[in-house]
Structure formats: structure tokens, C-alpha cells
């Protein structure tokens, strides 16, 4: 949902505010389109019918929010990334991997599982470890494999999305790796 009253906070200048608004709209339009696609897709229906673990839900969130964040990034950054980009990316993946490990622990409680999923995308921008990790994965897939590969991951689901990221991550030493549990859930190494 776009709160137009908040558009005044999207930047200091009219141009910055306009780009912020366009970015937000692109983000939300992606969610609407992706949701409609999932509702009609036999692949996605089969994915949901098999039942989701907390880790599956985190991976689904990371793909959905990550691609939406990536569309926003494209609109706003114009190829320029923040000076602390690498530090923030590294931290996001560290948190994502740590919570992925926690989500598969037999000691995980329902309350903690739900808290992890909530924090994956309802914190401050850079603290949204699910969304940020997904954004980095989407950007890497797009850069190294192309837009067609990113689109394929939308059709095929989170496992394909994270398989593609795992395929490209070794090409760039700046790209963090994924937790062994995420890789297993994505079918990497099988």
C-alpha cells in the first residue's frame, strides 16, 4: 500500500520525492502482480500444498520482498550504491544465515519462528534481513545470469531463486554465501 502523504518524506527535492514515489509504486505493483501470478500458477500451488516450514516461509519472503526491493533499488540508485553497501550486505546475510539455522532447530518455538519471520521484513530498511538478502540475490542473478533467469525464478519459486544465487555467488568475492540449511532447502548439492 502506498501512503501518498508519506511521499513528502521520500527525499529533500521534488525529483528525489518523485523517484521515491515511483520506486514505492514499482515495489507494490510487483507484489500485486506476483501475488496474482502465484494464485494462478500450478507450480506455486504445489509449493504451498506441500506445507511450509518456517525456513520455506523465510525463503518465500526473501524472494518476494527481495525482488520488490531490487526494483526499488533500480529506480532510486541509478547504479550508485551507498558507501557502506558491502558492510550492510555482509551483515544482512550474516543475520539471514543465523536465523535460517535457528528456524531448523528442534528447539524453535512457534513464537520465535513467527518473530523471526516478522523481523525479516518489518524492521528498519537495512535490518529487514529477509528483504535485503533477497534484494542482493535478485541483483546478482540479474547481473550475472540476466533478467530471463530472474523471471524464471519467479515462475519456479524460492528454491530456484536461491539455487541461481548459489550458482553466481562464487563468481564475485563480494557476494556472501548462504547457510547450508538454505542451500539444502533450495536443493543445492543434491
The pLDDT assigned to 27 comes to 75
Nearest to 130 by CA among 115, 114, 117, 142: 117
The pLDDT assigned to 2 comes to 52
pLDDT in tens, the chain (190 residues): 555 555 556 567 766 666 666 667 777 888 788 899 999 999 999 999 988 899 999 999 999 999 998 988 887 766 677 788 889 999 999 999 999 999 999 999 999 999 999 999 886 777 889 999 999 999 999 999 999 999 999 999 999 999 999 999 999 999 999 999 889 888 886 5
Contact 89, 132 (CB under 8 A): yes
Show the CA angle centred on residue 15, arms to residues 147 and 78, nearest 5°.
30
The pLDDT assigned to 162 comes to 96
The pLDDT assigned to 16 comes to 65
The pLDDT assigned to 29 comes to 83
Residue 180 CA: distances (Å) to CA of 100, 175, 190: 9, 16, 12
d(CA 92, CA 88): 6
Contact 178, 94 (CB under 8 A): no
Q: What distance, in Å, lies between the first and last C-alpha atoms of the chain?
A: 40
DSSP-assigned letter for residue 170: G
Contact 98, 45 (CB under 8 A): no
Q: What count of other Cβ atoms lies within 10 Å of the Cβ of residue 105? A: 12
Nearest to 53 by CA among 189, 190, 184, 188: 184
Strands (E), 36-117: none
Residue 96 CA: distances (Å) to CA of 6, 16, 55, 103, 183: 29, 30, 10, 10, 13
- pTM exceeds 0.75, yes or no: yes
Domain residue ranges in the chain: 53-186
Amino acid at each position: 500500500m502506498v501512503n501518498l502523504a508519506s511521499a513528502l518524506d521520500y527525499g529533500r527535492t521534488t525529483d528525489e520525492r518523485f523517484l521515491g514515489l515511483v520506486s514505492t509504486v514499482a515495489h507494490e505493483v510487483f507484489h500485486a502482480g506476483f501475488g496474482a501470478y502465484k494464485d494462478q500458477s500450478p507450480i506455486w500451488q504445489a509449493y504451498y500444498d506441500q506445507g511450509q516450514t518456517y525456513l520455506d516461509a523465510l525463503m518465500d519472503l526473501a524472494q518476494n520482498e527481495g525482488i520488490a526491493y531490487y526494483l526499488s533499488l533500480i529506480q532510486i540508485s541509478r547504479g550508485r550504491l551507498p558507501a557502506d553497501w558491502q558492510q550492510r550486505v555482509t551483515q544482512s546475510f550474516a543475520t539471514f544465515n543465523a536465523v535460517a539455522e535457528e528456524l531448523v532447530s528442534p528447539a524453535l518455538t512457534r513464537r520465535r519462528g513467527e518473530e523471526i519471520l516478522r523481523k525479516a521484513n518489518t524492521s528498519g530498511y537495512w535490518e529487514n534481513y529477509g528483504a535485503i538478502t533477497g534484494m542482493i540475490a535478485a541483483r546478482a542473478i540479474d547481473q550475472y545470469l540476466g533478467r530471463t533467469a530472474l523471471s524464471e525464478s519467479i515462475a519456479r519459486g524460492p528454491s530456484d531463486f536461491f539455487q541461481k544465487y548459489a550458482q553466481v555467488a562464487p563468481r564475485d568475492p563480494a557476494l556472501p554465501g548462504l547457510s547450508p540449511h538454505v542451500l539444502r532447502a533450495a536443493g543445492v548439492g543434491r
